[in-house]
Amino acid sequence: MTQRTNRKMIARHLARAVVLAGIGLYVARLSAVGNLGLYISPRMAVYTKLAAAALYLIAAALVYQSLKEWDVQRDAGCGEACGHASAPASPWLSQLRAVVLFALPLALFFLTPDTTIGSAMAARKGMNLSGGTAAHAIKTDSAATSAPPDANELDRLFPHDSLTKPYADYGKLLYAKPEIEIKDWRYLETLTTLNFFPDSFVGRRAEVSGFVYRDDTIGQGQFVLGRFAIQCCAADAIPYGIVVESTDAAKYANDDWMTVSGTFAKTTIDGAEVLLLKADAATKIEPAKDPYVYPDMDFGV
Amino acid sequence: MANAAYKWTLTLSAALTLALLYFIATERQMPWPDSLSGIGADQWQSVKTVFVSLFLEALPFVLLGVLVSTVLHLFVPETALARLIPRNPLLGVLCAGLLGVVLPVCECGMIPVVRRLLRKGMPAYIGMTYILAAPIVNPVTVLATYSAFRTAPEMALYRTVLGFAAAAAVGLLLSRARGKSSNPLKPDAPSLHAAAADHNHHAPHRAPSSRLLSYCSHAADEFFEMGKFLMLGAFLTAVIQTFVSRGELIELGGGAFGSHLFMMGFAYVISLCSTSDAFVAASFSGVFPAGALLAFLVYGPMVDFKNTLMLLSAFKARFVLRLLVLVTAVVLAASLLAGWLLESAAR
């Protein structure tokens, strides 16, 4: 065991400790300023925080170990019996590689602002305008021409089979409201329900918020108000949205956050029939503190 | 030879990463092709957001895998495993698949654990069957698939059955590999602490504190080994997600065969966790037939861009390539068959 290899080992331990503690610190800082939610969903954030704590501990152990090595080296009493492995001769290049691959991205994570993804990403991923589940052919006889009694009026508006019953039930709930507020909670389930029974909601009032999005399938005087639904992290975000028709459509820039209220009508976008909101009031708002929406796992269970 | 080439690849990728990160940091225009000059700062921000989220998402699972692997390394004797493994390949493959049901570990966490088990003498085909099957057949994934396909609950069942069958088929095909190719592991990176750890292992008289220390530094070694590939994989996946549009890709996926291939390619490049990809598949349900969705749901968890890079951290490049080809062929055949059966059942 030469002094040089030992010094190398100490340096390596310390460099690794710095990187590990750096990752831990990054997670801690994100969590402290409330930006962790831009990257991962709340149910996964717990695990990431635990991992950060574990990285701190490992980093501390590495520092402690290099201190011990340092003592050993000062005593210079290290013989073969110590049981130390000698450090592998590491070429300068591979050391640099390790630094590039960890320290640099980390530094950039710290130095660049935390942002959410926006309309550019939505365009790449493809905006979904008809909610989360594809249209499902319901086997009912919709040709009920005789005027049904009142109790069956709702059933006629919301035909369902066993699979779509949760959506029909939720649809009846929405239908009973004077104005349908499309909130973060059950955002996705609400959009799906609306597009399952578009005819039942035509003419009803609704209010929705989101970021402005456009692509070439959207007509003149129209834009989409969208939100990203997240499962685990921002990488699996899926954009969902509602088409809005407004005389002032041209005024609003992509990625502006808006709240729009109006009445539902039907339209065809890119060959698919979807609901459209005819705006009668629109206000610019601050982006939501948590820009994402999350599927409700308990829906219909 | 291959190792040298691979080292260079890593260095090159690192250099490329460095260059790209430099452009992100300085928010400059890229100095090369005109087609890239339209890239604005917001797109680099998107890359950063997706990159960081993939990294933070995988971090706990990689770390868990590393910690488990270190425990196995330090506390489980080589001989313990050999007694547990069935001799018969078919039985072994089935056991490995069933193990995936009871031990739900995310893709990222499995690679270090399986690598360690292989070093302990587990046959490669059994380890690979587990890596392929576990992300699909574990209860968390089944539940997520069920809630994504609320109006088609049979999708969760088909996915699980197809995933299990495909993993078992690939495992059996791998079990026929003999001789030189039967050890797919890369030579062990010279670990600083291997000797020290062994020393502790055989010297119980040492203080427990130093055993804990060697445990930690061993875990750190392994974390960095895996982490390199995680960083690269997450970064390149983020770039792909930011610059490749779904619409352009869909143009490629015409016809039944094309849609299967497209969905598999798509699953490969977006590299999602198996617990969240079902929702992405559901967003395609109007566009492609159920068979193609199944191809996506089975292929993605087995192999994708990020996990290929992580496999390369443990296995020889040639083995990884062979695995990719095998999995692609098996999943394509299985999903085409499943699609055809579904079509004829619907008629």
How close does chain A come to B225, measured CA to CA in Å? Answer: 10
Measuring CA to CA, which residue among A60, A50, A58 is closest to residue B216? A58
| Partner residue opposite A232 with nearest CB, options B63, B235, B275 | B275
- B218 has a chain A CB within 8 A of its CB: no
Size of interface A-B (CB pairs under 8 A): 212
- B190 has a chain A CB within 8 A of its CB: yes
Tell me what percent of the residues of chain B surpass a pLDDT of 90. 35
Confidence of residue B206 (pLDDT cuts 50, 70, 90): low
Q: Dihedral sign, CA of B181, B184, B185, B186?
A: positive
Q: Please give the pLDDT value at position B35.
A: 46
Q: Please give the pLDDT value at position A39.
A: 96
Tens-digit pLDDT profile for residues A15-54: 889 999 999 999 999 999 999 999 999 999 999 999 999 9
How close does chain A come to B316, measured CA to CA in Å? Answer: 19
Kindly identify which residue of chain B lies nearest to residue A53, measuring between CA atoms.
B60
Kindly identify which residue of chain B lies nearest to residue A43, measuring between CA atoms.
B57
Q: Dihedral sign, CA of A18, A19, A20, A23?
A: positive
> Using the beta-carbon criterion (under 8 Å), do A124 and B242 form an inter-chain contact?
yes
| Partner residue opposite A65 with nearest CB, options B199, B213, B227 | B213
Kindly identify which residue of chain A lies nearest to residue B234, measuring between CA atoms.
A235
How close does chain B come to A152, measured CA to CA in Å? Answer: 23
> Using the beta-carbon criterion (under 8 Å), do B18 and A297 form an inter-chain contact?
no
Who contacts B184 (Cβ-Cβ below 8 Å, separation ≥6)? B118, B124, B315, B316, B319
Mean pLDDT within B226-233? 88
Q: Please give the pLDDT value at position A83.
A: 44
pTM for this predicted structure: 0.86
- Tell me, rounded to whole angstroms, the distance of Cα A7 from its chain centroid: 45
Measuring CA to CA, which residue among B81, B64, B113, B70 is closest to residue B200? B70
Q: Which two tokens stand for residue A59?
A: 């980093």
Which of A119-133, A267-281, B19-33, B82-96 is predicted least confidently? B19-33
| Partner residue opposite A235 with nearest CB, options B53, B151, B217 | B53
Pairing of strands A222-229, A238-245: antiparallel
E strand spans, A230-271:
238-245, 257-269
Rounded distance, CA B239 to CA B45, Å? Answer: 11
Tens-digit pLDDT profile for residues B273-294: 888 899 889 888 877 888 999 9
The total of other beta-carbon atoms located within 10 Å of residue A162's CB is 6
> Using the beta-carbon criterion (under 8 Å), do B243 and A124 form an inter-chain contact?
yes
Angle between helices B89-102 and B154-175 (to 10 degrees): 140
Mean pLDDT within A166-170? 92
Kindly identify which residue of chain A lies nearest to residue B147, measuring between CA atoms.
A297
Residue pair B73/B116 in contact (Cβ under 8 Å)? The answer is yes
Q: Please give the pLDDT value at position B137.
A: 94
Mean pLDDT within A149-165? 80
Share the mean pLDDT of chain A.
Answer: 85
Q: Which residues of A touch B57 (CB under 8 A)?
A: 39-40, 44, 48, 232-233, 235
Residue with tokens 């992580």: B310
Mean pLDDT within A117-133? 87
Tens-digit pLDDT profile for residues A73-111: 777 654 444 444 444 545 566 666 776 778 888 998 999
Tell me what percent of the residues of chain B surpass a pLDDT of 70. 82
> Using the beta-carbon criterion (under 8 Å), do A85 and B285 form an inter-chain contact?
no
